Amino acid sequence: MPRAVVTGAAGGIGRATVATFEAAGWEVAGLDRDGPEPVDVADPESIGAAFARIGARWEALDALICVAGINHRSPVAEMHVADWDRMMDVNLGGMFLAAKFGVPLQARAETPAIVTMASISGHVASPDYPAYVTTKAAVESFTWALAQEVGDRGIRVNAVAPGWVDAGFTGAALDQMDDPEPLYAAAREAHLLGRMAEPEEVAAAILWLASPRASFVTGQTLFVDGGLMRKH
């Protein structure tokens, strides 16, 4: 049975990813601040201890799935330094720490893989989200660098870049709206397929990249964006 670690496992895409992998016969360890054993991916001691527990339980880690991330809306001049720093710590630092502690556990895996969570926001910047778009652009650079670093060990590293997803940050925005129709209308206009993605569709792409079916794919970004990038 292949084994995977999923960070951000309590979020919309994270939950869908855990369910998708388990349905495909994987054993999954989900890490999240809101999980039964809370893990802060930005805290070296917290995430290091989590991977130590996983390493004691599993002989090998087949897939490391880095989904954990946060968002914060604020123009540059009004953003608190603490908010900027926290986003960098979680979206980038958390990915670095997951790789730091996860890669050594992949040494015994037959077809090890890492999948990171990028975003179309790393390519199509949005006003009032400077920290988020910065982290998502950097996620891809980190992914490419890591792919070069661990390729000779047989570890594949790829990123998934979703468009708008009806979960997570977008779902939270919808929940706060009295009338969500304008946002759905904007999604229909933004994507060639005329809608937002479901989290399960993103999870399916993650599963493919993590599986042996993508055995010769590394250092790539897979856009799961319903054609959004083709409209820019």
In the set 51, 132, 142, 223, the catalytic residue is: 132
SS (H, E, C) the chain: CCEEEEECCCCHHHHHHHHHHHHCCCEEEEECCCCCCCCCCCCHHHHHHHHHHHHHHCCCCCEEEECCCCCCCCCHHHCCHHHHHHHHHHHHHHHHHHHHHHHHHHCCCCCCEEEEECCHHHCCCCCCCHHHHHHHHHHHHHHHHHHHHHHHHCCEEEEEEECCECCHHHHHHHHCCCCCHHHHHHHHHHCCCCCCECHHHHHHHHHHHHCHHHCCCCCCEEEECCCHHHHC
129 is an active site residue:
no
Q: Active-site positions?
A: 132
